[in-house]
Amino acid sequence: MTRKVPAALSWVAASVARALAGSGIRAVLTGGACATLLTDGAYQSQDLDFILEGDVRQKDLDEAMASAGFRRERDRYVSPDSPFFVEFPRGPLAIGRDLSIKPKPLRVGRTTIHALSATDSCRDRLAAFYHWEDRQSLATALLIATRHRVNLHQIRKWSLAEGALDGFEEFRRELARRRGSPQLR
């Protein structure tokens, strides 16, 4: 399914994904940019975070990013043609303590991007809410969960393991209210 998000962010995500794939580099879009795509732009990120899978030499990453019009400045990649910067946070791909993340293909135009699933992106945003009391991340998790089917059982089980059952219950109650669904309450 093609996403309707601000052209600039989706263009950057697709350009970077194509450049990385063309260089044989596998990476997964995470964080706020993934949430932007999954909320059709209702949430806006200022950067794109990709987690690299496998060993990648810095030189190869720099060359791939240069082919997409980005140059490295310290720990991020910037382009004069984009208001967004790109970062590659240290892996492994994880959400909280959960290391068993399975990326999903996400179509942006004609490009397939490896990204977090809606459930995992929701958990990623909830992690910031649970651990840093970031209410904007709670709001973003709710945006994702109202636009996509998410596995609430998996989110609850993960929340329990993170020691954040109270935070999950707040999320679940607000999601039920937004969906108008008494069975979730």
Instruction: Please count the helices (runs of H) and the strands (runs of E) in the chain.
Output: 7, 7
Instruction: Answer whether 91's CB lies under 8 Å from 52's CB.
Output: yes
* Segments making up each domain of the chain, as ranges: 7-116, 119-184
**47-53 and 85-87 beta bridge pairing:** parallel
- Please give the pLDDT value at position 12: 96
Distances (CA, A) of 110 to 8, 14, 39, 105, 107: 15, 9, 19, 12, 7
Q: Give every residue of the chain whose pLDDT is below 70, as ranges.
A: 1-7, 182-185
The domain over range 7-116 is classified in CATH as 3.30.460: yes
Alpha helices in 68-164 (DSSP H): 118-132, 135-147, 152-161
The model carries a pTM of 0.92
- Please give the pLDDT value at position 69: 96
- pLDDT 10s digits, 108-157: 999 999 999 999 999 999 999 999 999 999 999 999 999 999 999 999 99
